[in-house]
A and B are shown apart, each in its own frame.
Chain A
Amino acid sequence: MRILIRGGTVVDPENRTVEQKDVLLVDGRVAGVGADLPADDALVIEATGRLVTPGLIDMHVHLREPGYEHKETIASGTRAAARGGFTAVVCMANTDPVADTRAVVEYIRERARATGVVHVFPVGAVSKGLEGKELAELASLREGGAVAFSDDGRPVVDSGLMRRAMEYARMLGAPVISHCEDPGLSAGGLMNEGRTAYLLGLPGMPAAAEEVMVAREILLAELTGCPVHIAHVSTAGAVRLIRDAKARGLPVTAEATPHHFTLTEEAVEGYNTSTKVNPPLRTAADVAAVREGLADGTIDVIATDHAPHAEEEKDVEFAAAPFGIAGLETAVGLVFTELVHSGVLDLPAAVAKMTVNPARILGLAKGRLVPGADGDVTIIDPRLELTVDASGFVGKGRNNPFVGRKLTGVPVTTIVAGRIVMLERDLKC
């Protein structure tokens, strides 16, 4: 099977080049990238005026399977990923059963092979049952295919346990991903602590609840030498701590979500449960700091924290609704609308945060468009406009606060290992 992507603008995030080139895929791999490649018998995808990038990687999603298939399945979640332009997703361990044993990690990979349409890389739990008490069998998880370790969704409260997890993870060559939250400070909180929380009479989570834990993870990374990746950075203080840690040469990386670089706490007005997310939407100053962190490289990765929930679970009083935003299908549009077109990030930098950077952090041989690389390609129309309509989502979750918003810059074609899974916005799987 040969596919020729012709006339597109190829974005190479590694060499920071943006050039008009053809890309030839043969038998699921990149066979050539260059000017005027011969089509021969290849299927030709015309990409003039479009951007051709290495397949995008979302290193933070919740696929909900096994255990919460009413919210999402590996089949529906990977289709949502394909529709969002992602060719690979990294799924968190807070399933039921928890991905704290090799068997569960292997089950996820097996289900992904059988029912998924993009690559799926599971994260293994740090602690058994995500309970934060006993270390999970990290080596077995690693052998089963876990690419990182995290209790995401829950913080690891016990600093001693986190220290041992980092020492052990370092031995295994995998990073620890930390959901930074001090539950003593955030207890009972439903949104960011501040003006809007006061007006709405909702208990708040202060920025310090996140920052205290970011500071701890940085200190533990220094103590253990283990690479630590800070998930969903949302506060100005967290950005500052990570920037300082990087300046000191510590093995600390970080990600930000589209909702945290776009929305402020004011979006919660009206008690819209689609805006209930953890960490919460913060202030305009925090959004500005996250954007600055993205621009100066403090924040390496853009990831969605895709957290789908069933409609009936979210259509309740604000306090009763679960935290989370289903973000896979709006992420690229937000990156282009909010960061690229507005000049926060240039094209190679924006693409790097969804390709080579997550690949480097997780040790995946992905994220590059060079001969011999996996045939994962995303084609984006940077000028195509789309008004977000959750009823058109492919994923099961409709909990998205961007409904009704106009996005400019939309993925149109997704190719996974040489297989076209989305063509001109139509899913082919």
Chain B
Amino acid sequence: MFKHLLGLRDVGREEILTVLDTARGMKEVLGRRIKKVPTLRGRIVVLLFFEPSTRTRVSFELAAKALSADTVSITAAASSVAKGESLRDTVRTLTAMGADMLVIRHPASGAAEAAARATTAAVINAGDGTHEHPTQALLDLFTMREAKGRLEGLTVTIVGDIRHSRVARSNVWALRAVGAEVRLAGPATLLPPEAAALGIPCYTTLEQALEGADVVMALRLQLERMRANYLPSLREYTRLYCITRERLRLAKPDVLLMHPGPVNRGVELAPDLVENAPSVIEEQVTNGVAVRMALLYLMLGGE
């Protein structure tokens, strides 16, 4: 297993499947009344979050606690980062205090990699800038496999702000590694030509991208994109790219609808889709804890 999980670009099919298989057992643990096993007792997991995040941080924290690891959660506002301490110094300090694993969320692409260079602890990238969010992609794959029974041969359409999405990047690498077909869809300003140059089918017409899809994944739209003129208006975006029940009829009848959350209701998804089938957004959240448990277990080498 890898020492660090910084991204999925260089992670192979076998490693991905090992994580997903291990997560299945972890999900079983989470279904018990006593959701705790002693596997990582005495190990220290530090959650270092330089960006606001509830779901990812809590998900990691619950995963570590379910494995009996000790956790410390640091958010940028409360840490010495506000006093001008560099990422490198913060990471070195936490390492000196005995951290076995650092889980890092940071607004700068490459921050997790920079942290990994500064520490002997294992590092998990919990989202770095617009680069990667590997644990999100792994939980997405877990959810798809659980529902469909397979990953190979699935057609997965990712819709929205492809350019700035770390979720999309990680999903593209992972899905390609396991033999799924990925399609990307969004307005031309948010659909970089580099993606098409990598051989990924890209669509500016949503309807074409949805045709025959097994899985549709909508991405969160950062509303500040409007200010940088990537989009003329929210209304126009919604008219062209919002996933509605009617548009979903173009996909396979048993299509799965996903979203990494939090959802801008009525922007990426029609409001009635968020909590109802075929949406599996809540299952994604549940599975996130199991997948993160699997990673902690595999990377910290339990027992």
List residues of A whose CB falls within 8 A of some B CB. 194-195, 197-203, 270-271, 312, 315-320
Nearest Cβ distance between residue A285 and chain B, in whole angstroms?
13
A315 touches B130 (CB 8 A): no
Give the nearest-CB partner of B129 in chain A: A201
Across the interface, A271 reaches (CB within 8 A) one of B9, B86, B110, B166, namely B110
* B interface SS class: mixed
Tell me if B234 is interfacial: C-beta within 8 Å of chain A.
no
Tell me if B192 is interfacial: C-beta within 8 Å of chain A.
yes
A318 CA / B131 CA spacing, docked (Å): 12
A316 touches B113 (CB 8 A): no
Nearest Cβ distance between residue A341 and chain B, in whole angstroms?
33
Contacts of B240 in A (CB 8 A): none
Contacts of B166 in A (CB 8 A): 201
Contacts of B198 in A (CB 8 A): 195, 198
A320 touches B108 (CB 8 A): yes
Contacts of B195 in A (CB 8 A): 198
Given contacts A198-B194, A199-B9, contact A317 B111 (CB under 8 A): yes
Tell me if B114 is interfacial: C-beta within 8 Å of chain A.
yes
Tell me if B106 is interfacial: C-beta within 8 Å of chain A.
yes
Give the nearest-CB partner of B194 in chain A: A198
A200 CA / B112 CA spacing, docked (Å): 12
Tell me if B61 is interfacial: C-beta within 8 Å of chain A.
no
Nearest Cβ distance between residue A120 and chain B, in whole angstroms?
33
A200 CA / B88 CA spacing, docked (Å): 20
Contacts of A197 in B (CB 8 A): 194
Instruction: Give 23 A-B contacts (CB < 8 Å), ordered by A residue.
Output: A194-B194, A195-B194, A198-B194, A199-B194, A200-B110, A201-B109, A201-B110, A201-B128, A201-B129, A201-B130, A202-B130, A202-B131, A271-B113, A271-B114, A312-B86, A315-B86, A316-B86, A316-B87, A317-B106, A317-B108, A318-B109, A319-B109, A320-B108
Nearest Cβ distance between residue A106 and chain B, in whole angstroms?
36
A322 CA / B113 CA spacing, docked (Å): 18
A200 CA / B125 CA spacing, docked (Å): 13
List residues of B whose CB falls within 8 A of some A CB. 9, 86-88, 106-111, 113-114, 128-132, 166, 169, 192, 194-195, 197-198
Nearest Cβ distance between residue B260 and chain A, in whole angstroms?
15
Contacts of B106 in A (CB 8 A): 317
A197 CA / B198 CA spacing, docked (Å): 13
A270 touches B194 (CB 8 A): no
A161 CA / B56 CA spacing, docked (Å): 50
Nearest Cβ distance between residue A201 and chain B, in whole angstroms?
3
B110 touches A316 (CB 8 A): no
Give the nearest-CB partner of A203 in chain B: B130
B88 touches A315 (CB 8 A): yes
A194 CA / B198 CA spacing, docked (Å): 11
A318 CA / B113 CA spacing, docked (Å): 10
Contacts of B128 in A (CB 8 A): 201
Give the nearest-CB partner of A201 in chain B: B131
Nearest Cβ distance between residue A204 and chain B, in whole angstroms?
9
Nearest Cβ distance between residue A187 and chain B, in whole angstroms?
8
Across the interface, A318 reaches (CB within 8 A) one of B114, B192, B194, B197, namely B114
Give the nearest-CB partner of B106 in chain A: A317
Give the nearest-CB partner of B128 in chain A: A201
Across the interface, A202 reaches (CB within 8 A) one of B86, B110, B197, namely B110
A390 CA / B172 CA spacing, docked (Å): 38
A319 CA / B194 CA spacing, docked (Å): 21
B130 touches A318 (CB 8 A): no
A316 touches B88 (CB 8 A): yes
Contacts of A318 in B (CB 8 A): 108-110, 114
Across the interface, B87 reaches (CB within 8 A) one of A195, A198, A270, A317, namely A317
B114 touches A202 (CB 8 A): no
A127 CA / B183 CA spacing, docked (Å): 49
A258 CA / B87 CA spacing, docked (Å): 31
A198 CA / B87 CA spacing, docked (Å): 24
Across the interface, B114 reaches (CB within 8 A) one of A194, A203, A317, namely A317
Give the nearest-CB partner of B169 in chain A: A201
Nearest Cβ distance between residue B155 and chain A, in whole angstroms?
22
Across the interface, A200 reaches (CB within 8 A) one of B87, B131, B192, B197, namely B131
B109 touches A198 (CB 8 A): no
Give the nearest-CB partner of A317 in chain B: B108
A319 CA / B107 CA spacing, docked (Å): 9
Given contacts A203-B130, A317-B87, A317-B108, contact A198 B114 (CB under 8 A): no
Nearest Cβ distance between residue A184 and chain B, in whole angstroms?
10
A315 CA / B114 CA spacing, docked (Å): 9
Nearest Cβ distance between residue B213 and chain A, in whole angstroms?
23
Contacts of B107 in A (CB 8 A): 319
A316 CA / B113 CA spacing, docked (Å): 11
Nearest Cβ distance between residue B285 and chain A, in whole angstroms?
24
A45 CA / B34 CA spacing, docked (Å): 84
Give the nearest-CB partner of B132 in chain A: A201
A319 CA / B197 CA spacing, docked (Å): 25
A208 CA / B151 CA spacing, docked (Å): 41
Contacts of B111 in A (CB 8 A): 317
